[in-house]
Amino acid sequence: FFPLVLKLNFDPIWFGVIVVLVGEMGVITPPVGVNVFVIKGIAPEIPLETIFRGIMPFLAGLIILTIILFIFPQIATFLPSLVSY
């Protein structure tokens, strides 16, 4: 994807942040939900439904943060712009 990202003039740091956020959303939501099943393995007495309800605030936060970063990409690139790279 990286050559395409550069060709479309997206900032590579911003794109990397978006990829990490979307990847995290992928590992906490079904059908993959790896993190949820790790929690289930650590605490088998807690029902899966309770665990999924518990991740909803974090999922909402990730979605809101991703939307904000799409609208204002400068948030992700502010600190790196202070360092010459």
Residue type, 71: I
Q: Identify the band that residue 80 occupies on the pLDDT scale cut at 50, 70 and 90.
A: confident
Give the model confidence (pLDDT) of 17-63 as tens digits: 999 999 999 999 888 889 999 999 999 999 999 999 999 999 999 99
Q: How far apart are the first and last CA of the chain?
A: 21
What pLDDT, on a 0 to 100 scale, did the predictor assign at position 3? 92
Question: Which residue reads 């943060």 in tokens?
Answer: 65
What pLDDT, on a 0 to 100 scale, did the predictor assign at position 85? 58
Mean pLDDT for the stretch of residues 62-73: 96
What pLDDT, on a 0 to 100 scale, did the predictor assign at position 70? 95
* Domain spans in the chain, listed from the N-terminal domain onward: 2-82
Residue type, 82: L
Residue type, 77: T
Of the candidates 7, 31, 17, 32, the residue with the CA atom closest to the CA atom of residue 72: 17
